[in-house]
Amino acid sequence: MTILLQTVDLRKQFGETRACDSVNFIVQQGEFLSLVGSNGAGKTTLVNLISAHLQPDSGKILFEGEDITFATVSERIKAGIARSFQIVNLFDGLTVFDNVALSIFSRQGKTARIVSLAKYDREVRDEAFEVLGQFGLRDKSEIDAGGLAQGERKLLDVAIAYALRPKLLFLDEPTSGVSTRDKAQIMDTVSNIVRAGTVTAVIIEHDMDVVFRYSDRIVMMHEGSFLADGTPNEIRANKDVANILLGAPLSA
Amino acid sequence: MKADALSVTYRSELGLVALAAAVFVALALLPPFIGLYQTQLLIYGLIAAIAALGFNLLLGYTGLLSFGHSAFFGIGAYTVAFLLRDLQIHSMEGYLALGLPIVALTSVLFGYICVRHTRIFFGILTLALSQVIYSLALKLFWVTGGTDGLRVARPSLFFGLISFTGAGSFQRFIETYYYYVLVLFAVCVIVMWVIVHSPFGKALQAIRDNETRAAFLGLRIRRFRLIAFTISGTFTGLAGILWAPLNGLATPDVLYWPFSGEIVFAALLGGFRSFAGPIVGGILFTYLKTYAVATTEYWQALLGTVLVLIVIVLPTGIVGALSRLATKSELKVKS
């Protein structure tokens, strides 16, 4: 196993709240990792720090051994870190096709092209249709993203991030607010992509059924630090985890 | 299936090209039927359409409402007047060749300051900067002619090939200038259409819809906005350059903020959410204002009422409403 991402004593404080308290987080290449924990545990903050949505107070972030602590958003995307957001973030006025195509244009450095028609770029077009096919959205390609159903919106949200062809993909609650059937479709899709060996995925998730079913490893956060880290079976057996998930006080 | 999808798009575009060509031919055939005055009015309309088209790259496609586009229009117009007075340039091509870089440069400078902000802050900044230019034009009267403005003689066209002096020159100028402006208008429409359908144009729309997500595709938001601002200002500046010889006078009222409002009005009238909206809006607004002024002393009240009605009844503008009607009837035909 090789380490893809590592944080060293990463800290972020909001007023009195320690959202990230000396976090040493390691993501191995090719794994499917879930970040769990109650609301306010610091999961989203950690992802925001790694994706440059927030700047840390102190600590370091290493990606493939390179220090990226002060790298900009676009530098991190180039390096291979992509993310989706907790609340669906689409380009509602653009078609489903354009939403995905834009990721590909951006990745290929073609967004500065001003005198060529976007939809006649064969290379981008073929790839966009391939991604849409993987996410089951091919038939919807000409609809405005604003007109999709909630489950499809979630899928497209992931597809946009995936089309950047990241090495490391963060998905912040990819299944929140969708039906059980849509949940399975979204998670199967993501899982297939990871199993195909092209991308490492870290998801933030509250639905423990989903977490136990799909993850290789689970990391549990509580009040800004890691409480548990292990395989689904190890986590299942962990008393602290159970107590927090059931809302009981810590045994310590 | 991929090939199918592509051929469908080709076909729909063929229809679009055919429609645009038909409109162009109709416009080209119009002057003998409508007479001199209406031809002149239509030139004003086409120029307003170019201004609104440029403006709408910011509002409709980038999501930035500028209240300062009078600056670019006015700087275009005054540049022509200065080139004539100070450099004795009488050629329209000379005005374009020197005027366009000047309005582009002004747009970059304005844009550099304004795109650091969005929403109301952006709007206020554009308004403030444009009014700086306005007050300069007013106060530096020994340079700009103050409220009187500067006279602009009828220029020669096609590198001095055609000039307009002597008897009947006004009529000849209008008849020729109409086609001159019509061709430039067509070029502007094509260029703008390509821009908004390019990867760059899609990126602008993505920034409009969701700035945060666009940043997480690796798009450099501020740079894109600056380029959009520059293109937008340059289009509107071109309209000002074309306007000055037609009007015969560069006056400070085209630098004053109500003129920015008129450009906004034109875009809203036609519909800022559609490509053709500002074009239709620019032409219609010219007629609306001209007839409102001719009909009533209270023309501003009349225009104001129309604007309120549009915002309430036709929020997507005339083109938006028409295209919705067309889609509905299409669905009816199919079912």
The pLDDT tens digits for B170-215 are 888 998 999 999 999 999 999 999 999 999 999 999 999 988 889 8
- The pLDDT confidence band at residue B2, using thresholds 50, 70 and 90, is very low
Q: Do A73 and B212 touch (CB under 8 A)?
A: no
Give residue B319's identity as a one-letter amino acid code: V
Q: Is the dihedral of CA B239, B242, B246, B251 positive or negative?
A: positive
Compute CA A189 distance to the chain's CA centroid, rounded to the nearest angstrom.
13
B300 occurs within a structural domain: no
Measured in angstroms, the CA of B229 and the nearest CA of chain A are apart by 14
User: What pLDDT is attached to residue B207?
Assistant: 93
Q: pLDDT > 90: what percent of chain B? A: 56
CB pairs under 8 A between A and B: 106
| B88 near A CB under 8 A | no
Identify which has the larger pLDDT, A157 or B11: A157
User: What pLDDT is attached to residue A26?
Assistant: 84
The ipTM is: 0.82
Model confidence pLDDT, tens digit, residues B218-266: 888 999 999 999 999 999 999 999 999 999 999 999 999 999 999 999 9
Range of the domain at B190: 26-255
User: What pLDDT is attached to residue B57?
Assistant: 95
Greatest mean pLDDT among A192-196, A202-206, B58-62, B115-119: B58-62
For the purposes of burial, counting CB atoms within 10 Å of the CB of B165, is it exposed (0-12), middle (13-18) or buried (19 or more)?
Answer: exposed
Q: What is the CB-side half-sphere exposure of residue B308 using CA atoms within 13 A?
A: 6
User: What pLDDT is attached to residue B1?
Assistant: 42
Q: What are the percentages of helix, strand and coil residues in chain B, rounded to 5? A: 80, 0, 15
User: Any idea where the domains of chain A sit in the sequence?
Assistant: 3-90+165-246, 92-147
| B219 near A CB under 8 A | yes
User: What pLDDT is attached to residue B21?
Assistant: 92
B12 occurs within a structural domain: no
User: What pLDDT is attached to residue A246?
Assistant: 65
User: What pLDDT is attached to residue B335?
Assistant: 57
| Euclidean distance between CA atoms B241 and B245, whole angstroms | 8
User: What pLDDT is attached to residue B133?
Assistant: 92
Measured in angstroms, the CA of A19 and the nearest CA of chain B are apart by 22
CATH number, domain A3-90+165-246 = 3.40.50.300
Question: Across the interface, which of A74, A103, A111 has its CB nearest the CB of B200?
Answer: A111
Q: Which two tokens stand for residue B266?
A: 């034109």
Least confidently predicted of A168-172, B117-121, B161-165: B161-165
User: What pLDDT is attached to residue B71?
Assistant: 94
B21 occurs within a structural domain: no
B306 occurs within a structural domain: no
| Euclidean distance between CA atoms B334 and B230, whole angstroms | 44
- Chain B residues whose CB is inside 8 A of the A73 CB are 215-216, 218
Q: Do A106 and B203 touch (CB under 8 A)?
A: yes
User: What pLDDT is attached to residue B6?
Assistant: 54
Total of domains in chain B: 1
Residue B149 has pLDDT above 90, yes or no: no
- The pLDDT confidence band at residue B114, using thresholds 50, 70 and 90, is very high
Question: Across the interface, which of B5, B202, B208 has its CB nearest the CB of A118?
Answer: B202
- The pLDDT confidence band at residue B3, using thresholds 50, 70 and 90, is very low
- Chain A residues whose CB is inside 8 A of the B212 CB are 85, 89
Q: Do A119 and B203 touch (CB under 8 A)?
A: no
User: What pLDDT is attached to residue B212?
Assistant: 87
Q: 3-class SS at A91?
A: coil
Measured in angstroms, the CA of A159 and the nearest CA of chain B are apart by 12
Residue B109 has pLDDT above 70, yes or no: yes
Model confidence pLDDT, tens digit, residues B265-275: 999 999 898 99
| B5 near A CB under 8 A | yes
| A7 near B CB under 8 A | no
Q: Do B213 and A110 touch (CB under 8 A)?
A: no
| Euclidean distance between CA atoms A90 and A146, whole angstroms | 8
DSSP per-residue letters across A146-202? GGS-HHHHHHHHHHHHHTT--SEEEEESTTTTS-HHHHHHHHHHHHHHHHTTS-EEE
B288 occurs within a structural domain: no
Q: Do A93 and B197 touch (CB under 8 A)?
A: no
Q: Do B199 and A121 touch (CB under 8 A)?
A: yes
Q: What parts of chain A have a pLDDT lower than 50?
A: 251-252
Residue B167 has pLDDT above 80, yes or no: no
